[in-house]
Amino acid sequence: MTKTTFQSLGMHPALMDVVQKLQFNHPTEIQEKVIPPILNGQSVIGQSRTGSGKSHAFLLPLFNQLDSSKREVQFVITAPTRELAIQLHDEVKKIIHYADKDGIWISKLLIGGTDKQKMMEKLKTPPHIIVGTPGRILDMVKSESLSIYSAKSFVVDEADLMLDLGFIQDVDQLLVRSKQDIQLLVFSATIPERLRHFFQKYLDQPVYVKIEEHFSPELMEHQFIAVKHRDKGEVIRDISKVIQPYLALVFTNGKAEADALLDSLLRHGLNAGIIHGGLSPRERKRVLKEIQNLRYEYVVATDLASRGIDIKGVSHVINADLPKEEAFYIHRVGRTARAGLEGTAISLYTEEDFGLIENLEKKGLQITYIDVKDKEFVTAKPWNTRKLRKNQASAIEKEAWKRVKKAKKVKPGYKKKQKQEQENIKRKLAAKKYNKRK
């Protein structure tokens, strides 16, 4: 089957040079499906997991439509966290530089924690592109330092996280101050019900693209380890004696669990850091810089914190706590095996996780069950071994009961005799099955 090329998507030659310099050989699935409708001026809802190429799925076609002769805001890109906004703006600057349009295409980053007065000064001449957090952009609009009414397109990136963090109201306020027919591009890993109400308010027959979740990329391994009443920090310490991660992202289900696990990993001598919503902006900035400078081998994180940042070079994802929903498992493991690199997901599980594991396997996830002993991984029994054994025993029991001779005349003690006969047949059937396996 012939792969789609960027040329066939209908972009300007200047953007094709950018694609080449970005070293993109072929569009990803989300890019292939959303770039044509965006170029066509349609509003789009794009749903796909982390690491699927969403950012360039909207950046490339938006730049394709930029008119440098008009010095006005032409598109607005909103992100739920400063880190994500900074990362998006870095990609914007990279495209401008690769297109050889430095000083011609103008972008501005609007986020909290920066000098408001200086920002207002810089906005006196309108930029073509605005990237930022909804609160700070709204702040600039309300102070009349910025008008976004001229914008043709408006992007809501990581919309579900925007909703979780309570910023969707700011997005709403910005859209009220935009053109009624503005092209709205919404990208999200999941589409919660509350987001649907938002869509109904602003979107008229959008193109909806959902990229199905692929559980087992070619370069991805899914290994599951039963905790068995052990301390999770100790299990991860033992895992660390087997793997040599470039960077391992270790997930927990909450801030308290993340703090406790970090303490445990540090006590066990692991080179570990932490990123979660409880950190102050200054601490968060410091930790992110240290992660980028490869200061840590292990970074403990919560789902929300990790969704709000793009950590590059993750070779391993370790689920110290498995999430409650399959979608979150996909987002977590999507942090590794990106851009053609190999990746491994190692999950610690308890009996509470059996329901999730069963659902993941039903959806096609290929799981390898292992344990860690004497500084190496060894094969372990699957989570449902006992259940399978029980089902097997139940089948033998039914078969044995079928073979018991039923007396026509009922005599005293007949039930006891039938039970004994059933037990004898069961033993013979089980022995026969065992000998067959041998």
Residue, of 85 and 416, whose pLDDT is higher: 85
Q: SS3 for 396?
A: helix
pTM for this model (two decimals): 0.72
Averaged pLDDT, 217-245? 87
> What's the rounded mean pLDDT across residues 392-399?
58
Whether the Cβ atoms of residue 266 and residue 236 lie closer than 8 Å to each other? no
Cα-trace Rg, the chain: 28
Whole-number pLDDT of residue 369: 94
pLDDT at 194: 81
Region of poorest pLDDT, from 41-45, 250-254, 348-352, 424-428:
424-428
User: In the prediction, which pLDDT does 154 show?
Assistant: 97
Length of the chain (residues)? 438
Per-residue pLDDT at 258: 92
Strand locations in 19-142 (E): 44-47, 75-78, 107-110, 129-132
Q: Indicate the pLDDT class of residue 133, thresholds 50, 70 and 90.
A: very high
**Is the pLDDT at 139 greater than 80, yes or no?**
yes
- For residue 105, name the pLDDT band (cuts at 50, 70, 90): very high
Do 302 and 251 meet the contact criterion of CB atoms below 8 Å apart?
Answer: yes
Q: Report pLDDT digits (tens) over 279-335.
A: 777 888 888 888 888 899 999 998 776 666 667 778 899 999 998 888 788 878 877
Mean pLDDT of the chain: 84
Q: What is the mean pLDDT of residues 17-33?
A: 89
Which of the residue ranges 249-258, 291-300, 379-388 would you say has the lowest mean pLDDT? Answer: 379-388
* 397 — pLDDT class (breaks 50, 70, 90): low
Question: Hey, is 223 helix, strand or coil?
Answer: strand
Residue 271's pLDDT is what?
Answer: 93
Q: Assign 147 a pLDDT band (cuts: 50, 70, 90).
A: very high
Tell me what the mean pLDDT of segment 359-375 comes to: 88
Note the pLDDT of residue 216. Answer: 47
| CA pair distance 143, 123, nearest whole angstrom | 11
The Cα 76–Cα 66 span in angstroms is: 12
Rounded to 5 degrees, what angle do the CA atoms 347, 375, 373 make? 65
Distance CA 234, CA 225 (A): 13
The pLDDT confidence band at residue 213, using thresholds 50, 70 and 90, is: low
